[in-house]
Homo-oligomer: A and B are copies of this chain.
Amino acid sequence: MPAPLHFYFDFISPYGYLASLRIEDLAKKHGRTVEWHAMLLGVSVLKVMGLKPLLDTPLKGDYARRDVLRHVRKSKVPFGRDLDAPVGSPLPMARAFSLVKHHHPHLQELMARLIYRAYWVQGLDLSTPEAVARIRLPDGMSPAWLESELHGEFAATLLRREVDASLRAGIFGSPTVVVDSEPFWGFDRLDDVDEWLTRAGW
Note all chain B residues with C-beta closer than 8 A to A183.
63, 66
Q: Tell whether, in the assembled complex, residue A59 and residue B172 are in contact, meaning their CB atoms are under 8 Å apart.
A: yes
Note all chain B residues with C-beta closer than 8 A to A63.
170, 172, 183, 185
In the assembled complex, the Cα of A18 lies from the Cα of B32 at a distance in Å of 31
In the assembled complex, the Cα of A48 lies from the Cα of B59 at a distance in Å of 8
Q: Is A86 an interface residue (CB 8 A)?
A: no
CB distance from A105 to the nearest CB of B (A): 27
Q: Tell whether, in the assembled complex, residue A60 and residue B49 are in contact, meaning their CB atoms are under 8 Å apart.
A: yes
Interface residue ranges of A78-93 to B (CB < 8 Å)? none
Q: How many copies does the complex hold?
A: 2
Select one of B59, B67, B173, B189 contacting A60, CB under 8 A: B173
Given contacts A170-B62, A173-B60, contact A186 B188 (CB under 8 A): yes
- Please encode chain A, from 167 to 202, with 1 for each CB lying within 8 Å of some chain B CB and 0 for all others: 100111100000000010110110110000000001
Q: Tell whether, in the assembled complex, residue A59 and residue B202 are in contact, meaning their CB atoms are under 8 Å apart.
A: no
Select one of B57, B167, B186, B191 contacting A51, CB under 8 A: B57
Note all chain B residues with C-beta closer than 8 A to A58.
48-50, 172
In the assembled complex, the Cα of A189 lies from the Cα of B173 at a distance in Å of 18
- Please encode chain A, from 15 to 58, with 1 for each CB lying within 8 Å of some chain B CB and 0 for all others: 00000000000000000000000000000100011111000011
Note all chain B residues with C-beta closer than 8 A to A70.
202
In the assembled complex, the Cα of A192 lies from the Cα of B171 at a distance in Å of 26
Closest to A47 in B: B58
Note all chain B residues with C-beta closer than 8 A to A188.
186, 188-189, 192
Q: Can you give 12 contacting A-B residue pairs, CB < 8 Å?
A: A48-B58, A49-B60, A50-B52, A50-B58, A51-B52, A51-B57, A59-B167, A59-B170, A60-B173, A63-B183, A74-B202, A188-B189
